[in-house]
Amino acid sequence: MIVTTSQLFKVAYGKFAIGAYNINNAEQALGLFSGNVEADAPFIVQISKGARKYAGVPMLEGILRAAEKQYPQAIFAVHLDHGDEKTCYDCIDSGFYSSVMIDASHEPFEKNVEITKRIVERAYAKGLSVEAELGRLGGVEEHVAVDEKHANLTDPQEAVAFVKQSGCDSLAVAIGTSHGAYKFKGHQSLAFDRVETIQKLLPGFPLVMHGSSSVPQEEVQRINAAGGKLDPSARGVDVDELLRAAKLGVTKINIDTDGRLVWTRVHREYFRDYPAEFDFRKPGEVFVKEYAKFIVHKSQKLGAAGQLPVVRKALGV
Ligand code: G3H
Ligand code: 13P
Ligand code: ZN
């Protein structure tokens, strides 16, 4: 059942976080839906511009409509990840999305406000909510390379002014993470003092953490043992810090890289062990099971596992 992102945020705020997982194909959908159903967890399906280009817009909608039918117990929202203005309008007008992210964080503050405000107006008219971003994450976001050295954490006072002026419903904040597999060099921890200050100034307002994959070391080692060449210094967010962040108002936690690592490990190991095989459904089946297992584990770490009865009660369904 597709619900709005705000409905999920209302239930989760300050108690647990909703996992927001990127999707590009049917195998990811199968693992994502079966894992969340097994964990009894609400979730957000995220679609990036890259995914829309890869699979095609009707195909992605078709996959998700089919998943909704195949997993009638699932409760989820559909969200545009890292949208530009045009893609936000397309999604708002499509009638399929629950919420959109307008990513104008590379713009100066005033321009970011101005663009976000325009999206908010259009989205509200159609009942969608809007995530905006303030601050710069390290790493690489679609077409925008942000040098780690210049990555700066979200300024709490600016966050207050931004939310007030733009009217956005949730805010992606830079609190020490970056996209991809190489987030931390040496010390690996979120900027909790920064989140705490932002929450004090914006009580009850849902914050979003991008770049939240945990990049499990075992996964990196298995990929490399099966012929991969990932830099062994790859480090992600400590999975045990996720719930602490959730209690401080981080209500949506974005995870994509970890799913890619599961895919890479499964396929590398499979074709290493069965070099004569060419039926892609065999590793596909293993991937779906392994991805579902990963989702169950992540839902537990987010505190989202077992929350579906609470969500159903709040929604009256
Ligand atoms: O933050 C970006 C997400 O990981 C989506 O990645 O743009 O390659 O689909 P993508
Ligand atoms: P990761 O690269 O850490 O998975 O982050 C994904 C993300 O932020 C999608 O918006
Ligand atoms: Zn992101």
Structure confidence at residue 149 (pLDDT):
42
Q: What is the CA(254)–ligand 2 centre distance, in A?
A: 5
Task: Identify the pLDDT of residue 185.
Answer: 79
Is CATH 3.20.20.70 what the domain over 5-315 is classified as, yes or no? yes
Q: What value does the mean pLDDT take over residues 173-193? A: 90
The answer to whether 171 and 205 are in contact (CB under 8 A) is yes
- pLDDT on residue 140: 45
Domain segments of the chain as ranges: 5-315
Q: pLDDT band for position 256 (50/70/90)?
A: very high
Task: Examine the pLDDT at 242 and tell me if it is beyond 50.
Answer: yes
> What is the overall mean pLDDT for the chain?
95
pLDDT surpasses 60 at 146: no
User: In the prediction, which pLDDT does 152 show?
Assistant: 80
- CA 27 to CA 33: how far, in whole Å? 10
Q: Does residue 143 have a pLDDT over 90? A: no
Tell me if 257 CB under 6 Å of ligand 2: yes
Examine the pLDDT at 17 and tell me if it is beyond 80. yes
Instruction: State pTM to two decimals.
Output: 0.96
Give the span between the Cα atoms of 303 and 144, in whole angstroms.
32
Taking the centre of ligand 3 as the mean of its atom positions, its distance from the CA of residue 62, in whole angstroms, is: 24
Over residues 185-236, the pLDDT tens digits come to 777 789 999 999 999 999 999 999 999 999 999 999 999 999 999 999 999 9
**pLDDT tens for each residue of 81-119:** 999 999 999 999 999 999 999 999 999 999 999 999 999
Whether 246 shows a pLDDT value over 50: the answer reads: yes
Q: Are 33 and 71 in contact (CB under 8 A)?
A: yes
Q: Of these residues, 81, 155, 169, 256, which one is catalytic?
A: 81
Q: Is the CB of 22 under 6 A from ligand 1?
A: yes
- SS3 of the chain: the string is CECCHHHHHHHHCCCCCEEEEECCCHHHHHHHHHHHHHHCCCEEEEEEHHHHHHHCHHHHHHHHHHHHHHCCCCCEEEEEEEECHHHHHHHHHHCCCCEEEECCCCCCHHHHHHHHHHHHHHHHHCCCEEEEEECCCEEEECCEEECHHHCCCCCHHHHHHHHHHHCCCEEEECCCCECCCECCCCCCCCCHHHHHHHHHHCCCCCEEECCCCCCCHHHHHHHHHCCCCCCCCCECCCHHHHHHHHHCCEEEEEECHHHHHHHHHHHHHHHHHCCCCCCCHHHHHHHHHHHHHHHHHHHHHHCCCCCHHHHHHHHCC
Whether the predicted pLDDT of 245 surpasses 90: yes
pLDDT exceeds cutoff 80 at 134: yes
What is the pLDDT at residue 151? 59
